[in-house]
Structures are given as structure tokens and as C-alpha cells.
């Protein structure tokens, strides 16, 4: 299910960033992976690999793993166009992604709601996609990941995320059902961004 919360800004020509956010267990990585397979041969669609202070083989996301000292050095050297901290880790989006948008690419970023103000001030053309899922679906997915106990999962589910600020170009995709439903909605959104 796709819900448009604001009128889309003119999509295309100059490139744009699409920042994907949503609560833990909503299936952001799965929806993005679905779209990445669909657009594998399209050079204008770029999925940003985040730099994260965790080992490269940890978690389901393909990322660039660095230690805290390396991350700090990269940040000081201006390697990131946006960076933030969450859940005891540091996350960075490489500056090349901003350059790619300037060259006409549609860059998809696995972002964070808390970093949205930095994304807004960094990327001149930005769309925010919130991936959601019903609480019981998220609970089941979080349990299957096996990273946290029942108490930590309950705490995650109790968090009430703040919606993006009013006036931003936002879309919500419900990923409570089969992946191909949400995945197809996201592919459709990216196809629109290319036109």
C-alpha cells in the first residue's frame, strides 16, 4: 500500500536523493534489495553503501565496515555528505553520493529519521520514503533476526517515531504483507523519479 503525504516535487532531470526511513523490523533492507535487483542494469539508479562502525560481515546490509577511529578521521576529512549516530554506531553517506545526484542519478539511501534535517540541508532534491509494517509483523521479524531479547524488542516496538516535518516530499509504503507488494510500490516510485 502506497500513500502520498505531500505533492511530489518535480522529479528527474537534475537527479535526486531518496532517503528510506522506518522503524526496526519494517523491512527497509528487503524492500531496497527488491528494487536493487529490479534496477541492476540501470546506471542512473544508485544504491548508496553506508559506512558503519561495525564489521563488514555483521548484519544483513551490505555496508563498508570501519572502526570508530577511521570513521572519525573520514568525517574530519570531509568524506561524508551526511553522518549520524544511532544505537551505539556511527553511520556515514559518502560525499560521492551528493556528486552522483548532481550528475543526474537517483540515489537511494538507507537513512535515519533523526538525520533528516541534515539530508534536507544537503540534497537540493529529496524525497523521503517511510517503510512501515504492523507492530505484530515487526515483532516477528525482529525475533527472527535473533539480535535482541524479548525486552529489547518490546522497547523498540514501544517507540513512537516522529513523522517527517510538514512540507517535505514524503511517501509511505506499508510492508506488512508479501514483499513483492511493497517492493513493486517502491520500484514504481523509483521509475517515476527517472521520468
Ranges of residues in the chain with a pLDDT under 70 are: 1-13, 58-60, 145-166
Question: Which parts are annotated binding residues for ATP?
Answer: 22-29
Cell of 87: 544505537
- Binding residues, by number, are 22-29
Q: Are 96 and 138 in contact (CB under 8 A)?
A: no
Q: Is 86 helix (H, G, I), strand (E, B) or coil?
A: strand
Query: Structural domains in the chain?
Result: 2-49+104-194 (3.40.50.300)
Q: What's the confidence (pLDDT) of residue 131? A: 95
What is this structure's pTM? 0.82
pLDDT at res. 152: 56
Q: What are phi and psi of 78, to 5 degrees?
A: 80, 25
Give the pLDDT confidence score for residue 24 in this predicted structure. Answer: 81
Buried b or exposed e, range 35-65, using 16+ CB within 10 angstroms: bbebbeeeebbbbbebbbbbeeeeeeeebeb
Determine the pLDDT at residue 36: 96
Amino acid at each position: 500500500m502506497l500513500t502520498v503525504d505531500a505533492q511530489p516535487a518535480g522529479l528527474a532531470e537534475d537527479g535526486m536523493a531518496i532517503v528510506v526511513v522506518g522503524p526496526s523490523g519494517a523491512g527497509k533492507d528487503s524492500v531496497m534489495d527488491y528494487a536493487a535487483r529490479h534496477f541492476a542494469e540501470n546506471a542512473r539508479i544508485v544504491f548508496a553503501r553506508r559506512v558503519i562502525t561495525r564489521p563488514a560481515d555483521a548484519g544483513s546490509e551490505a555496508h563498508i565496515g570501519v572502526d570508530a577511529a577511521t570513521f572519525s578521521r573520514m568525517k574530519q576529512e570531509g568524506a561524508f555528505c551526511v553522518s549520524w549516530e544511532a544505537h551505539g554506531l556511527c553511520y556515514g553517506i559518502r560525499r560521492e553520493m551528493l556528486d552522483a545526484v548532481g550528475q543526474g542519478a537517483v540515489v537511494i539511501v538507507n537513512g535515519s529519521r533523526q538525520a533528516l534535517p541534515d539530508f534536507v540541508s544537503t540534497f537540493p532534491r529529496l524525497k523521503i520514503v517511510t517503510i512501515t509494517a504492523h507492530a505484530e509483523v515487526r515483532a516477528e521479524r525482529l525475533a527472527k533476526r535473533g539480535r535482541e531479547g524479548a525486552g529489547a524488542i518490546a522497547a523498540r516496538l514501544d517507540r513512537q517515531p516522529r513523522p517527517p516535518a510538514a512540507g517535505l516530499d514524503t511517501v509511505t509504503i506499508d510492508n506488512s504483507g508479501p514483499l513483492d507488494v511493497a517492493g513493486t510500490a517502491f520500484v514504481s516510485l523509483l521509475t517515476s523519479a527517472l521520468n
